[in-house]
Chain A
Amino acid sequence: MSRLSIAPALAALFLLCACGSRNGYWDYPVANATSYGLKNGVALVDDADHRVMMVTALDDQQVQTRTFAIGHNAASTTTSPDGTHLFVLSTGDWPRRTSKDEFPSLTVIDASTFDFHPARYEMTEPLANLAVDPLGRWAVAYAGAAATTSFVQNANEIVVFDLSTPGATPVSRTIRSYGGTPQELIFTPKLQLPTGQRRLLIIETNIDITFVDLDDMSQPEVTIPLTSGTSAQQVTPAGVVVDGFDPTNPLDARIALRANDNTNVFTWLLGPSSDPSQEYTPVLNVIPVGGVPSDIAFVRTGGGASPLLRVAALVPTKSNAVLADPDTAITTPVALPAPYSNLSLVTTMVAGDMNMAPSAAATDVAMLWNGGPSSATGVAFWVLTVDQPYRSIQSVPVQQPIETVHDVGGSLYQDLKVLEMQNGSGFFVLDLKSRTASPLETMSRASILIAPDGNRLWAFAHGGVDLAKVDFSNLNPVPVRTEPPIESVYDVARPTAGRSLIAIHKLGTLGATIFDALNPDTATSRRVTALLLEGP
């Protein structure tokens, strides 16, 4: 063999064999990976690799991981309020250039058990936002305020997914518009309409409001412009509340809306329609409340033989609240000790408290606080009596302005609220029954996680290494530490009973520190590294 012939032959062999390269997965960064807490684990959304890794806690602070494919290019990820489902809305490979490119899709992972069942729903057009029914039956994709995802996009198109039929083809619908585009979507509970019980999807656009019958998508939607034809002033919805369900009253369904630039509260009674093609006709009532309301709620007020339905509106610019009759538009102002801007009903949580119980058992009790930038401090309880509104306010002094109010779930401590302070100096555990607020101070700004079982809270410094458990039974802080900085923490169930705390560290390819949530101890914690490095 010629010596000159060997070298070219070897070179050709090398080039032929060395042209292979590795899976592109290994070149994808994990910097944009995000974590979501679920009832039975933590979901790590690894969009670069089109997958979700479910991290399940086991005994002895061990973990188990499983991965599930998701659609390409995740645009929106959220969880169901009860933490049993993960929703990943993907825009797919858009525009599609080859038949292998993916369509837009919604991936739903059922995490109600430790088996984690995924389901995929394909769409024909990419949409960037997703609203999830708190009752778990529906999910709706819409364009919203996100950037346009295709050359021509119908901003008023919604795509409705029926989650009770995994993989079912979603229903696409274009809502009638007077120039607005969907901004917020609200799912109502079952409402008693003249033709029967229905669930509605309420769509707030930037200038109008639309009602869609979720139980019968063939029914035409109802769109109501909020801007008067005689005025150029734009009315932009800022919040919608829905009255409950009374199966004995076919005229029970009511909707109220406040706007962020209008001093009126808009209410609709969904009454009978003279048009046989429509199930109902919304009857509008515009109720002036004297200022721009910051929060509204349907409430039951006492003072008579039976509770009366009213719309309670907080008007912080007037330091008062207004109780409005949705039928007659008659209003009753109630002076407040501070310009409270937020309201939430705590009626069931204070039930049995003799100090709070008014004359009528069905009378609502509201908790008021100020979650805005105002310097107003404290919280107040408002017993919603009409006959003695001025004597119905009881305030609880809290020394700092409140940033957020956290509800406590579970069954044991529902009468507690956790008040997060604006200045980050700590938080208060508010007992609704005794109307006491127990302060808990922190050395630095703390983030709060309420355990889903409602038995404890976790306070941690985002980006720090300090973490503390506070049991609601005794409010005794148990401090622990992690070595790397904490990105987020999740209190999750274990398959064999017990609970674990998973602290996520956004370092490297993501790591975590696992604690026994019921008996946390740094010495028994376990570090898990390189969570997203496992092969494709």
Chain B
Amino acid sequence: VKHLSILLGALSFMMAAPYARAEEFSLVETPAPAAQTNRLQSMWRFELGYRGTFVKEAAFDPFSTQDYFGQVSVGFSRTVYAKGRFSFAPGFAWDFGRSGATARGDGASLDVHRLVVPLEGRMHFGKWGYTFVRAAPGIAFEAAEVDDAASPTLTSGGTAPLTKSRWLFATDLSAGYAYPLWPRENPTEFMPRVWIQADGGYSWIAPLGLNLAPDLPSSDPRMANGVDLGALTMRGAFFRVSAAVSF
């Protein structure tokens, strides 16, 4: 619900803003669109969506009661090559998600940030939109935390959480379809266009060893061991539904 609220809020913002942003984007040092440029094919696109990944890893169990991990997905892309019905658009995207559960009575949470460079090849069908395949290499930041009452206490109160975080290599491979909602006519006209799109594929993040340790200040002389929950590889099939605005 939280992710959906973020999605709807951002979507309304994006739909209200295109005219205000048009001038801004004209300052970008890109070739001025030719009068005959098909703006359903060569465009800037900003996307905001929801992404769900089905993670069947045993090491994910402490952090979720289901084998499912939801994320908010934000990104943009720019068409850099177009010929005939085909185009190519690289971009940048950020996915963020958090999952939490109780693990044998202990609170456990997992944060995942994914920063990727989507490389998207598209095949266009005029006003019916386009289909695409996307490879998205990048990096991910995973942070796992478990709150156990037997952990050392902190001077600030409470007990030190058991934590582990790390930057890891990540990549996605997906295919999908983008459909222009409005306006679908006058493709050469420079104006904001609203899209919906969906894609599905497979994602993978390098394994994270979940040897969680009490998060104590470096000056704390106490010796404390944490717990080893195995190695977590956030991988699995995923889907993403997004709304996009193009210019």
Nearest Cβ on chain B to A1's Cβ, whole angstroms = 6
Whether A508 touches B66, Cβ cut-off 8 Å, given contacts A18-B54, A61-B223, A529-B162, is no
On chain A, which size bracket covers the interface? 35 or more
Whether A484 touches B223, Cβ cut-off 8 Å, given contacts A17-B68, A535-B59, is no
**A residues within 8 A CB of B185?**
none
B217-231 interface bits toward A, Cβ cutoff 8 Å, 1 = contact, 0 = none: 000011111111110
Stretch in A247-255, A343-351, A520-528 touching the partner? A520-528
Nearest Cβ on chain A to B113's Cβ, whole angstroms = 22
State whether A508 touches B67 (Cβ < 8 A).
Answer: no
Stretch in B25-33, B116-124, B143-151 touching the partner? B143-151
State whether A20 touches B162 (Cβ < 8 A).
Answer: no
Which residue of chain A has the shortest Cβ distance to B228 in the bound complex?
A: A534
- Considering the chains assembled together, what is the distance between the CA atoms of A533 and B227 in angstroms? 7
**A residues within 8 A CB of B237?**
17
Nearest Cβ on chain A to B167's Cβ, whole angstroms = 24
Q: Quick check: is A532 within 8 A (CB to CB) of the other chain?
A: yes
A to B contact number (C-beta, < 8 Å):
142
**A residues within 8 A CB of B105?**
29-31, 508-509
State whether B61 touches A535 (Cβ < 8 A).
Answer: yes
Nearest Cβ on chain B to A418's Cβ, whole angstroms = 30
State whether B150 touches A484 (Cβ < 8 A).
Answer: yes
- Considering the chains assembled together, what is the distance between the CA atoms of A526 and B214 in angstroms? 12
Complex partner residue of A508 from B62, B64, B106, B224, CB under 8 angstroms: B106
Q: Quick check: is A6 within 8 A (CB to CB) of the other chain?
A: yes
**A residues within 8 A CB of B177?**
1, 6
Whether A511 touches B148, Cβ cut-off 8 Å, given contacts A26-B104, A530-B162, is yes
Q: Quick check: is B196 within 8 A (CB to CB) of the other chain?
A: yes
State whether A530 touches B153 (Cβ < 8 A).
Answer: no
**A residues within 8 A CB of B56?**
20
Whether A508 touches B151, Cβ cut-off 8 Å, given contacts A10-B198, A28-B104, A535-B58, is yes
Query: Interface size (B, Cβ < 8 Å)?
Result: 47
Complex partner residue of B67 from A22, A510, A525, CB under 8 angstroms: A22
**A residues within 8 A CB of B150?**
484, 505, 507-512, 527, 529-531
Nearest Cβ on chain A to B164's Cβ, whole angstroms = 13
A20-37 interface bits toward B, Cβ cutoff 8 Å, 1 = contact, 0 = none: 111101111111000000
State whether A21 touches B67 (Cβ < 8 A).
Answer: yes
Nearest Cβ on chain A to B200's Cβ, whole angstroms = 7
State whether A20 touches B103 (Cβ < 8 A).
Answer: no
State whether A533 touches B229 (Cβ < 8 A).
Answer: yes
Nearest Cβ on chain B to A491's Cβ, whole angstroms = 20
Task: Identify which of residues 146-170 in chain B touch chain A, using a CB-to-CB cut-off of 8 Å.
Answer: 146, 148-153, 162
Most chain B CB neighbours (cut-off 10 Å) among A30, A63, A526, A530: A530
Q: Quick check: is A13 within 8 A (CB to CB) of the other chain?
A: yes
Which residue of chain A has the shortest Cβ distance to B67 in the bound complex?
A: A20
- Considering the chains assembled together, what is the distance between the CA atoms of A104 and B58 in angstroms? 29
Whether A526 touches B223, Cβ cut-off 8 Å, given contacts A14-B52, A18-B66, is yes
State whether A535 touches B225 (Cβ < 8 A).
Answer: no
State whether B58 touches A23 (Cβ < 8 A).
Answer: yes
State whether A529 touches B104 (Cβ < 8 A).
Answer: no
State whether A22 touches B179 (Cβ < 8 A).
Answer: no
Task: Identify which of residues 171-224 in chain B touch chain A, using a CB-to-CB cut-off of 8 Å.
Answer: 177, 179, 196, 198, 200, 212, 214, 221-224
State whether B239 touches A14 (Cβ < 8 A).
Answer: yes
Task: Identify which of residues 1-57 in chain A touch chain B, using a CB-to-CB cut-off of 8 Å.
Answer: 1, 3, 6, 10, 13-14, 17-18, 20-23, 25-31
Nearest Cβ on chain A to B101's Cβ, whole angstroms = 7
21 pairs from A and B in contact (CB 8 Å cutoff): A1-B177, A1-B179, A3-B179, A13-B200, A17-B54, A18-B68, A20-B54, A22-B67, A26-B101, A483-B153, A508-B106, A525-B223, A527-B214, A527-B224, A528-B225, A529-B214, A530-B106, A530-B150, A535-B59, A535-B62, A536-B58
The 6 closest A-B pairs by CB, nearest first: A511-B150, A22-B61, A508-B149, A508-B148, A20-B67, A530-B227
Residues of A within 8 A of B (CB): 1, 3, 6, 10, 13-14, 17-18, 20-23, 25-31, 61-63, 483-484, 505, 507-512, 523-536
